[in-house]
Amino acid sequence: MILAIETSCDDTCAAVVTEGGEIRSNVIASQGLLHARYGGVVPEIASRRHLELVDAVTADALERARVRLDDLTTVGVTRGPGLIGALLVGLSSAKALAASRRLPLVPVDHLHGHVVASTLAPEPIEPPYLCLVASGGHTFLARVDDPAAYTVLGQTLDDAAGEAFDKGARLLGLGYPGGPALDGLARKGNPEAFDFPRSAPGELDFSFSGLKTSLLYRVREHPDADRADLAASYQRAIVGALVDRIRTALDREGLERLAVGGGVAANSELRAAVERLGVPVWVPPVELCTDNAAMIAGAARFLEPLPYPEYLDLDAAARLG
Ligand code: KG4
Ligand code: ZN
């Protein structure tokens, strides 16, 4: 029985997962509204809020799973990448819990968590598979042959896909986070109404900052344009870039299974587009796509734990090198 804690950004998360990947509890205290008025996550506010919430969220995860600290075998925790102050709250808390019961601790790479989210029960994906992770902070394609590791095949060179959605939404006068609002507006528009630059075919890296700039110009050039048409065309360009690269990677790597994770996996057009690729696709429920601790426990299952007291001087890392 693994307890995991995740505090890399603006969600305070704790979960209990069995060695077999069964989720016993998955508690997420979202700070979204707290940061909304600033139009983005404020790191210092996030850290303080994690500090206020982490004990209650952890107690809640244990209670919902109907387990006590004594029933745990391992504690997992996100070590990075993320906001350093936010990570430190989760890491310190996990260390203290593990040390209090002399339990082993597994430090987890947050991105590894996203990559293996689809390996959790009830319908775990089997390697080898291709995984697209597209969130507000990250966008990359990875190859997974063994769930203990992953190989990055391509990644964004500038903005993340979720960031492109959020910035686009802001330019169209929608709220933060803008992804869901843009998705909704796009359904009422014509995706062929405006042309957006398409990135070079055959690439596995992504670039979204040019797209955002061209939306800015379209909005300026056509102040009376239908916002729904702009949203639909812009979304088509982002989803097109994601799906083109998925197709290239599946082909090049000879992979026949696809997992999608990260908050952008909630996008309706992306979901529909990956279903048309002709390979079996795993898109976990949204609470396993966005930041959560069940995926961190999920990754911890495959990793070597550090015995007590070896982890006591372990440090969080904003970037994992
Ligand atoms: O994984 P996540 O919750 O947070 C991290 O960034 O770690 O992802 C949030 C991102 C935001 O950028 C949000 O706008 C985007 O996912 N998002 C969406 C949709 N729902 C959330 N983007 C497009 N369409 C959606 N329906
Ligand atoms: Zn994430």
Domains of the chain and any CATH numbers: 2-118+290-313 (3.30.420.40), 125-283 (3.30.420.40)
28, containing H or E segment:
strand 23-30
How far, in Å, is the centroid of ligand 1 from the Cα of 179?
6
Q: What is the pLDDT of residues 116-139, one digit of tens each?
A: 999 999 999 999 999 999 999 999
How far, in Å, is the centroid of ligand 1 from the Cα of 309?
37
Structure tokens at 226: 């239908």
Q: What is the pLDDT of residues 217-275, one digit of tens each?
A: 999 999 999 999 999 999 999 999 999 999 999 999 999 999 999 999 999 999 999 99
- Of the candidates 90, 59, 56, the residue with the CA atom closest to the CA atom of residue 76: 90
Ligand nearest to the CA of 295: 2
* Distance (Å, whole) CA 227 – CA 186: 8
Per DSSP bridges, beta strands 74-80 and 23-30 are unpaired
67 to each of 3, 58, 99, 100, how far by Cα in Å?
10, 11, 18, 16
27 bridge partner residues: 14
* Distance (Å, whole) CA 14 – CA 297: 9
The pLDDT value recorded for residue 196 is 95
Give me the phi and psi of 226, to 5 degrees please: -65, 120
What are the helix (H) ranges across 66-159?
84-100, 110-116
Ligand nearest to the CA of 288: 1
pTM equals 0.95
DSSP state of 69: G
Q: What is the pLDDT of residues 73-83, one digit of tens each?
A: 999 999 999 99
- For residue 8, the ligand 1 atom closest to its alpha carbon is 7
* Distance (Å, whole) CA 71 – CA 304: 19
Structure tokens at 254: 């000879």
- For residue 268, the ligand 1 atom closest to its alpha carbon is 26
